[in-house]
Structure 1
Amino acid sequence: MSDKRRVLFVCARNDARSLMAEALLRHADAEDFDAFSAGLEASEIDPRTLESLEHIGIDTEGLRSKALDEFAGQQFHYVITLCDKSSEEAARMPSSGEVIVWNFEDPVTSDKHEPFRHTLQEIHDRLHMFITVKTRS
């Protein structure tokens, strides 16, 4: 049995934000955390998600869009929702020690310049704080 803390990132479609968070946490601290992501429903991954991750040297191998149902019955230390729609669906979430609500603008529909890189940076910064807080002994 692993001593790693299991983290599930949930978003509406698992096409951008939750996949970014999964890949970033795996890259930043695979020693302490097992990262997973899911959508309320599975979707096609937006190609800009993979491009933005690869642009900063993050491995996207094995990333795929998954529905929340795939994790039914599994236990997680943390379930982190990344959008309003997913946080409203708390009853559908797998069992966890702690549910954390983050809200990031959807880069797919954003009007910002380079929305995927912007969202990736915001998630990266928040994850850095999460790792710092949750790995303190």
Structure 2
Amino acid sequence: MYPCRVLFICTGNSARSILSEATLNHLGSGRFQAFSAGSQPTGRVNPYAIEELKTLGISTEDLSSKSWDRFTDEGAPPLDIVITVCDNAANETCPVLFGDFVKSHWGLPDPAAAHGEGALIEAFRQAHTLIIHRVTALVNLPVEMMGRDELQQALDHIDTITDDDEEGA
């Protein structure tokens, strides 16, 4: 399982999953290879997501809003982990992808739902801060030495990490 291939999925693949993909590729370079996709992709990456990543010096090259079909078709890269990042608390429908990989859900409010320039910038900053905490926790896992059940439990625990608590509840 090296590099560990991780797919972040949500509905539109324009903000949360994009931020997660870019951040894991940045922080987990070499050990992890991250991708993102959506069940109903918007076809464009949210410009606030791009700006947030650039502000922190994270590459935005090759980021695009794409369908998860790319990861279910023949010849698709094999996946080790699939993480959904939609917001169940907002009654958002979370896509379900089937396959032989470990699945987890890391709920995140949609920053694109904020209204007004200042609110959007702050919402993207807050969402990305939480993503950084969670992705850092993932990068710190010894995934190469973990069994499937142990990895599942660790990934599910990462969902408990909040903005205020880098270690989780």
Distance in 1 between residues matched to 2:111 and 2:23, nearest whole Å: 16
Distance (Å, rounded) in 1 between the aligned partners of 2:105 and 2:142: 15
Cα deviation for residue 11 of structure 1 reads 0.8
Q: Which amino acid aligns with 2:67?
A: A
Normalising by structure 2, we get a TM-score of 0.72
What fraction of aligned residue pairs are identical, expressed as a percent?
32
Query: In the alignment, what sits opposite 2:110?
Result: 106
Distance 1:121 1:64, change over 3 A: same
Shift of 1:96: 3.6
Secondary structure, counterpart of 2:50 in structure 1: helix
Paired position in structure 2 for 1:72: 72
Instruction: Classify the secondary structure of the residue corresponding to 1:104.
Output: coil
Match of 1:10 in 2: 9
Using CA pairs under 8 Å that are at least 6 residues apart, name the structure with larger relative contact order, 1 or 2.
1
> Aligned-residue CA RMSD in angstroms?
1.9
Secondary structure of the structure 2 residue equivalent to 1:133: coil
Relative to structure 2, which stretch is displaced further, 24-33 or 110-119? Answer: 110-119
Q: CA contact under 8 A between 2:9 and 2:85: conserved in structure 1?
A: yes
Superposed, 1:25-104 pairs within 5 Å as 25-43=24-42, 44-73=44-73, 74=76, 75-83=78-86, 84=88, 85=92, 87=94, 89-90=95-96, 93-104=97-108
Could you list the per-position Cα deviations for residues 40-98 of structure 1 after superposition, in whole angstroms to 9, with x for gaps in the alignment? Answer: 122121100100000010010110111111111443110000013463x32xx152421
For 1:115, the equivalent position in structure 2 comes to 123
What is the Cα deviation at residue 136 of structure 1?
A: 6.5
Instruction: Look up the match of 2:137.
Output: 129
Structure 1 residues 100 and 55: CA distance shift in structure 2, 3 A: same
Change (3 A) 1:81 1:27: same
Whichever structure has more strand as a proportion of its residues is 1
Q: Which whole-Å CA distance do the structure 2 matches of 1:86 and 1:32 have between them?
A: 31
Task: Determine which structure has more spread, i.e. the larger CA radius of gyration.
Answer: 2
For 1:77 and 1:28, how far apart are their aligned partners in 2?
Answer: 18
